[in-house]
Amino acid sequence: MTINQLSNLPNKSVMSPLDEPSMANVSDIQIQSKEDVFDAYVAHGGRVEASHWMPDAYRKTLIRQVSQHAHSEIVGMLPEANWLISAPSLERKQILIAKVQDEAGHGLYLYSVAETLGAKRKDLTDALIDGRAKYSSVFNYPSLTWADVGTIGWLVDGAAILNQVTLCETSYGPYARAMIRICREESFHQRQGFEALYRMFAEGTDAQRSMIQDSINRWWAPSLMMFGPPDTDSNNSAQSMKWGIKIKTNDTLRQEFVNTIAKQSRIIGVTIPDPSLKWCPVSGNYVFTQPDWEEFYEVIGGRGMCNQDRLENIRRARDDNEWVMDAAEKYEAQQGNYAAGDPNHA
Ligand SMILES: [Fe+2]
Ligand SMILES: [Fe+2]
């Protein structure tokens, strides 16, 4: 059976508790079969499209993940956008403008992906502003110096790209395809951050080198947290892996990140702020200290340094631009009237 043939099976959403008991039993067997077929399809690498039948839980999990991802892109513009007017050269300003604009585009792609699953962008934004939706904890830390712009590119975008490259293979087609372009742009973000730090460290003053090291000291642990809690505490991971929504576990990705960054830090000349960081030839990995997971839960619980400020920015942007949404809705309604043959429609 193919995924398209699933649509010939009874849909769970049309079942009613008032069904005849005998029919309910038959349908239960078929429904079980329908979900089994779906699970087998994704387990064998099948790609799910918006028009396909999918279990409600799969849809809800995806909407949650994709909208959190979209929110992270939008909120993620804020720490660096503060530095647009203070960039030290025209070249750096152009690079930073391009990067921040890329992040806005990533947010738009991802909200569109969520819309293919039946979500409404306005509802998703409201959930973000009301504090009901999550976004990456890393964006609740302040960017205090110009070096933070380079560090965010190197560490934060570096962490993001590791996760996002795996999502190019995720089971939901629109999400996977959106990630291909996003990853190309994230690659540029990571490289510009690395290059900014490399040049400043090699050509700058002692004060600039200290500024870079201080920046890395502050962003290292929040970057490790970007992969989410340890696998043992990650409630949604097992099911997301089974459905092919998630390809690698939080701990696997975190280890890959540490391995990559530990090597790159030597090229720049900076020190990773972890005295336990050590290469282990047996495992083929760097041993490292876990971040403070209590701090992580505080930050995702809304009690980080910048949570209120970030959401206030998003709320202000929504309110300031409400007139655009109103105009768009009125225009859409007029088009609907026109299509329906409204004689009063000019
Ligand atoms: Fe992005
Ligand atoms: Fe990025």
Q: 45: phi > 0 → left, psi -120 to 50 → alpha, else beta; which?
A: left
Q: What is the pLDDT of residue 23?
A: 34
d(CA 175, CA 48): 10
Q: Are the beta carbons of 174 and 116 closer than 8 angstroms?
A: yes
102 CA distance to ligand 1 centroid (A)?
7
Q: What is the pLDDT of residue 234?
A: 83
For residue 57, being part of any structural domain is answered with yes
Q: What is the pLDDT of residue 160?
A: 96
Q: Report the greatest alpha carbon distance in the chain.
A: 81
For residue 344, being part of any structural domain is answered with no
224 CA distance to ligand 1 centroid (A)?
17
Token representation of residue 167: 């999502």
250 CA distance to ligand 2 centroid (A)?
19
- Ligand closest to the CA atom of residue 105: 1
200 CA distance to ligand 2 centroid (A)?
21
Residues with CB under 5 A from ligand 2 (ion): 157, 186, 189
Is residue 286 helix, strand or coil?
Answer: strand
Domain count, the chain: 1
235 CA distance to ligand 1 centroid (A)?
25
153 CA distance to ligand 2 centroid (A)?
7
- Helix 90-116 vs helix 56-75: crossing angle, to nearest 10: 160
For residue 23, being part of any structural domain is answered with no
Q: What is the pLDDT of residue 336?
A: 80
Instruction: Give 84-89 contacts, CB < 8 A, sequence gap 24+.
Output: 86/146, 87/146, 87/149, 88/146
138 CA distance to ligand 1 centroid (A)?
13
307 CA distance to ligand 1 centroid (A)?
19
For residue 293, being part of any structural domain is answered with yes
Q: What is the pLDDT of residue 335?
A: 87
d(CA 73, CA 164): 12
The residue range of the domain holding 303 is: 42-229+236-309
Q: What is the pLDDT of residue 211?
A: 98
Q: What is the pLDDT of residue 222?
A: 98
Q: Are the beta carbons of 121 and 115 closer than 8 angstroms?
A: yes
d(CA 151, CA 217): 10
Q: What is the pLDDT of residue 9?
A: 40
209 CA distance to ligand 1 centroid (A)?
27
Q: What is the pLDDT of residue 31?
A: 55
Q: 341: phi > 0 → left, psi -120 to 50 → alpha, else beta; which?
A: left
Report pTM.
0.86
d(CA 320, CA 45): 44
Q: For the chain (length 346 residues), average pLDDT per consecutive 10?
A: 49 32 43 83 94 95 96 96 94 97 97 97 95 95 97 98 94 96 95 97 97 98 97 86 92 97 97 97 97 97 95 95 91 82 59
Token representation of residue 237: 């991971």
Q: What is the pLDDT of residue 277?
A: 98
- Ligand closest to the CA atom of residue 103: 1
For residue 197, being part of any structural domain is answered with yes
For residue 212, being part of any structural domain is answered with yes
Domain CATH code at residue 143: 1.20.1260.10
Q: What is the pLDDT of residue 226?
A: 97
For residue 202, being part of any structural domain is answered with yes
- Ligand closest to the CA atom of residue 99: 2
For residue 302, being part of any structural domain is answered with yes
- Ligand closest to the CA atom of residue 179: 1
